Amino acid sequence: MRGKDVLLEKVEITYPNGFTAVHETDLTVRAGEFFSILGPSGCGKTTILRAVSGFVEPSGGAVRIGGQDQRGLAPNARPTALIFQNLALFPMMPVWENVAFGLEARGVSKRERQARATELLNLVALGDQADKKPGELSGGQRQRVAIARALAVDPAVLLLDEPLSALDLKLRQHMRAELRSIQQKTGVTFIYITHDQGEALTMSDRIAVMNAGRIEQVGTGDEIYARPRTAFAASFVGESNQFPGRVSAQEGQMAWIETAHGRFLGRNIADLQEGDAAILFVRPEVMRVADGRNRLKARLERRDLEGAFINIFLRSQTGAELAMSMPNTGMIGFDTSDVDVGFSAEQALVLPEGPLAKTGREELAAE
């Protein structure tokens, strides 16, 4: 097996009802890469996968796989295979036949099918389960059968559409490591779609952050977490304190921002100018008690013990809730009083004002 690169060149996808689900997009997924597309429900992730797999034809632009324009090629003529959360295994067939199913239609002999199924079941660590029925396996094992089945037809690109979302948390976390290891063993290009930032950050070589039909940023997990380029990426990936305001002055690579909480300095990576509407983003783990050049007064309100670290919630004088987290060194006292909190300017980002991701609470309310 060998991965191929996937190129989207100015791809735009408008559905027959006139709705444009994906605006003009350029994207390069490298051969053999574990690439994730991360974004909230409805942002267009599945639509992009449909265009790569051939179930939807872009209304503009081109999809190239391994350099080859895929226009007009039916899904089964493309070097791709697709896995969704709904596995559709055949319940009456033993596991190995499920895996080899696609090969029978291609005229492969039973002996060869069996050999290929054994090889793939070994790859997904199910070598000893070949004769069981899918119903006798756990959820995670069934997921691995589906992956083995998708790999049986020797795809260069495996497309995975939120494949873990039906599994419980423990299993989901275990499967992250399994998927990553299967991808590395095969060298097949994985394009993995998810709304779960934890999945994207732990498994991927690179991630595309997507919102409202557009890819806002592409980078490694580290890059996207430490240097989000848009308000959406900063608020969707990880937690952050947000201070909206206006840029009042530039200072080298930094900018001062005037907010309801005071005047703060942060990194000005978007080169904002005086007067520009902006939001200052500060991660809870870089907030400190009485520290730094950037300071504000707040009242300690609540403390959540997470085990290895502690989340502390504060109320600013303007009434905003602020989050701060710190390692649980057993040294942290807590009384509800006013404190000075602060953060280093190097670890604060001044970004252009823009749409923010919904918080978990808002997501639940919308459901």
- Count the site residues for ligand ADP by CB under 6 A: 12
257 contact choice in Mg ion, ligand ADP, none (CB below 5 to 8 Å, kind-dependent): none
Smallest gap from residue 202 Cβ to ligand ADP (A)? 20
Nearer Cβ to ligand ADP, position 213 or 292? 213
Q: How many CB atoms lie within 10 A of CB 99?
A: 31
> Alpha helices of the chain — where are they, by DSSP H?
45-53, 95-104, 110-123, 139-152, 169-186, 197-203, 221-226, 231-236, 360-366
| Residue at shortest CB range from Mg ion | 46
**β-sheet with 338-343: strand ranges across:** 288-289, 338-343, 294-305, 309-316, 321-327
15 contact choice in ligand ADP, Mg ion, none (CB below 5 to 8 Å, kind-dependent): ligand ADP
Nearer Cβ to ligand ADP, position 39 or 102? 39
- Interstrand relation of 34-38 and 206-211 (parallel, antiparallel or unpaired): parallel
Nearer Cβ to ligand ADP, position 39 or 54? 39
Nearer Cβ to ligand ADP, position 41 or 359? 41
Smallest gap from residue 127 Cβ to ligand ADP (A)? 34
Nearer Cβ to ligand ADP, position 51 or 323? 51
55 contact choice in ligand ADP, Mg ion, none (CB below 5 to 8 Å, kind-dependent): none
φ/ψ (deg, to 5) at 169 = -55, -50
* Cα of 44 vs its chain's centroid, Å: 13
Smallest gap from residue 30 Cβ to Mg ion (A)? 23
187 contact choice in ligand ADP, Mg ion, none (CB below 5 to 8 Å, kind-dependent): none
φ/ψ (deg, to 5) at 258 = -95, 115
Given a contact cutoff of 8 angstroms between Cβ atoms, the answer to whether 216 and 233 are in contact is yes
Q: Name residue 215's beta-bridge partners.
A: 210
Nearer Cβ to ligand ADP, position 42 or 355? 42
Cβ neighbours for 263, distance < 8 A, ≥ 6 positions apart: 248, 256, 257
Q: Name residue 81's beta-bridge partners.
A: 158
Q: Given the rule CB under 5 A, which residues bind Mg ion?
A: 46
Residues within window 16-55 making contact with ligand ADP, judged by CB under 6 A: 17, 19, 21, 39, 41-47
Distance separating alpha carbons of residues 345 and 114, to the nearest angstrom? 61
Cβ neighbours for 238, distance < 8 A, ≥ 6 positions apart: 197, 225, 283
Residues within window 85-114 making contact with ligand ADP, judged by CB under 6 A: none
Residues within window 335-364 making contact with ligand ADP, judged by CB under 6 A: none
146 contact choice in Mg ion, ligand ADP, none (CB below 5 to 8 Å, kind-dependent): none
Residue whose entry in the numeric block shows the structure tokens 């080169």: 271
42 contact choice in ligand ADP, Mg ion, none (CB below 5 to 8 Å, kind-dependent): ligand ADP
Nearer Cβ to Mg ion, position 46 or 189? 46
98 contact choice in Mg ion, ligand ADP, none (CB below 5 to 8 Å, kind-dependent): none
Footprint on this chain of ligand ADP (rule: CB under 6 A): 15, 17, 19, 21, 39, 41-47
